[in-house]
Structure formats: structure tokens, C-alpha cells
Amino acid sequence: MSKALLLVVSLLMAIPAAHAADAAFDAWLRSLWPEAQRLGISRKVFDEATRGLEPDLTLPDLVIPGRLDKPPPGQAESTPTPGQWMLLGPQPITTSGLPFAGRVTVVAPHPTDANIIYIGTDGAGIWLSQDAGATWASLTDTLPIPHIRSLVIDPVDPRLLYATTIPRAYPTRLLRSTDSGRTWKVSSITTDDHRTVAPGPCAVNVFQRACIPPSSGGLFFDRSRAGSPNTSTIFFVGWSHILRSDNSGETFHEVFSLPIDLDFAGPDAPNDNSEAEFLRDATIDPLTPSRLYAAVAQPRCTSSSNGASATAQIQLSAIAKRAIVSTPSEMRLLTR
């Protein structure tokens, strides 16, 4: 189902007509019909589903699709107090009069300016807010790789941004910006021995029935070697490798790998790695930058059958196995 139609379902309620009809909102509802028709929804079903829909003004700070002006009188507002959280969603982000909604995968706040926030999304690229989240602007509309996995800001020079993509129809990509996200350089993640990160679409396969996608693709800095668009040290956490770059992401070299390659094999990766180890996450010790910590997980697959039927039930779980400590010259096992 499209994003716009999902907004109707998740953000609007068919409530009694307590408010005067809003012409802009009604026009926005009518604009959804062509898309619904393409999805095979009949006019009768569409009209019945949207008839009487009105914004629920009891939802604090609701951004009403189709409206560019101020919220209507009487709409509830949220006012945060010190030490408390304020709900900012789920609700659509409206830009140029069009509502956008999707899954946010990463949040990257500016290290010194609390008003500046970047987010990465699964399907809508990278967005920027310069007013603490009140409004948003897309930074990657011209890039055909909208699925963002990781997004980090250089802790020394906040103009330098780095992001990675979720592998879908294309291999993992590295995005780099030197001007706070106004322009981007897109490249593959390549090692100095000419290997390119290209994980298979389902690198960890369970009985050829289920796929466990590892939480890979993370980026993090060595703060003591940050601040340069050409010589910063950043790390990339793959599915089975940790890679290090000392030239701000231009090339990488391997500092750790697991027994089964889930990063470089691409389409040739075996599809029967039912219990292959994979990297769940990794980070750097802020006080001792020569030390890295990595969380390695391994799927455990068990099957059972009901005596009254031949149906097998497959149970999947991922268990943490060990932590790794790294120095510039070696990687050794710390615990198991």
C-alpha cells in the first residue's frame, strides 16, 4: 500500500463531524483516488473508506495533509517540560505541500547545535531539520539510493557527513558530504586490495525458508583522527567484516573478519548459512581509540513437529557469542 494511503489509515479517524469541512484537506483526500485506482481499489470502496474522514484535532501538533497554513483553532498542542519527552510522531513530514511518511532508521543530532538534526530513512533518503524537528527538508531527492542504514556526523567538523545504504537492488553504497548535506559523493565501499562490499540479498538463510538480516552497515569515527575530508579515520561494520579507512572513506582495509564471508561474495554467497556468525554491532572505546568492541551473534535454529500433524515449526533466535578487543596490530578474543 502506498505511503499516502497509509497516512489515511494511520493518521486519520472517522469521527463525528465536529469541525467545519476543510477544503484543502478534502482536496488532498480526493487526490489519493488515482493512486488507489492503480492499486485495484474500486471507486465505491474508496468513497466509503474516505467518506466522513476528518483530522483528529485531539492529537497534539498534528500536521494536517493538504494544509500549508497554521493549525486550525482549537487543535491540541504539546508543550514539553524540562526532563520530559515530547511525542513528535508518527505523523507525516510535509514539504512543498506533499506529505511523506516512512520508517526512520537513524537519527544524527548536530554535536554543537541542538536545533540541527539529520535523519536517515528506509525509502526516503536523508532529511534535515534546522528548527529542532519542527520542519524538515530532504537532502537526497536527486540520489536513486533512498534506503539509509547509517548516518554519522564528523565530531570535529560537523560539515562532514557520512552515510551507508541498506543493500537492496544495489550493493551497499557510501555517501559523503563536505557541505552539511547540500551535495553528496556516492561510491562503493572498496578495500585497498580491490574488493567491493556486495552482500547477498539473504546472506544468512535458515533452511532456505527464512532470512535473518544482520544489523550491519554501521559507521563510527576515531575521534582522535577526525575532522578532515581526506584523512579522517572511520570504521564500517559489515555483516562479517570490520573495515577501517584512514582516508575519509575513499578506501578501506580489513581489521577483522568472521569465518564465513557475508560481505564480499555477493550473488555467489552460499544460501545455506543457516547458523553463520554475523556482526550485530561494533564501536570504539572513546578513551582508548586503539580498542574496538564488536558484538557477534549466531542464529540458533530448532525445529519441532506436532504429533498430530507433519507440520514442522522452525524457531529462530540470535544469541550473543563474544566481544572482541582490537589494537592497531591485532584483533584478539576477549570473552566467549
pLDDT at 262: 83
Residues 113 and 25 in one domain: no
The pLDDT of 84-95, averaged and rounded, is 66
- Domain termination site, one of 101, 134, 163: 101
153-174 burial, b at 16+ Cβ within 10 Å, e below that, comes to bbbeebebbbbbbbbeeebbbb
Residues 131 and 245 in one domain: yes
Q: Is the pTM of this model over 0.85?
A: no
pLDDT in tens, 37-60: 877 788 888 888 888 777 766 665
pLDDT in tens, 184-241: 999 999 999 999 998 765 555 544 445 555 567 899 999 999 999 999 999 999 988 9
What DSSP designation does 247 have? Answer: S
What total number of domains does the chain contain? 2
Residues 95 and 123 in one domain: no
Q: Is residue 128 part of a domain?
A: yes
Residues 108 and 241 in one domain: yes
**Lowest-pLDDT range of 86-100, 101-115, 129-143:** 86-100
Residues 137 and 187 in one domain: yes
SS3 336: coil
User: Distances in Å between the alpha carbon of 152 and those of 111, 175, 234, 236?
Assistant: 10, 10, 10, 11
Percent of the residues in the chain that have a pLDDT greater than 70, as a whole number: 60
Select from 316, 322, 327 the least CA-distant residue to 277: 322
- Domain termination site, one of 52, 81, 101: 101
Residues 89 and 162 in one domain: no
Question: pLDDT-based confidence at 329, cuts 50/70/90?
Answer: very low
Q: Is residue 241 part of a domain?
A: yes
Residues 128 and 270 in one domain: yes
Q: Is residue 180 part of a domain?
A: yes
Residues 225 and 198 in one domain: yes
pLDDT in tens, 16-34: 333 444 677 777 778 888 8
Question: pLDDT-based confidence at 162, cuts 50/70/90?
Answer: very high
Q: Is residue 315 part of a domain?
A: no
Residues 82 and 120 in one domain: no
- Domain termination site, one of 101, 118, 150: 101
pLDDT at 199: 72
Q: Is residue 112 part of a domain?
A: yes
Residues 32 and 179 in one domain: no
Residues 253 and 168 in one domain: yes
Residues 97 and 109 in one domain: no
Q: Is residue 318 part of a domain?
A: no
Q: Which domain holds residue 226?
A: 104-281
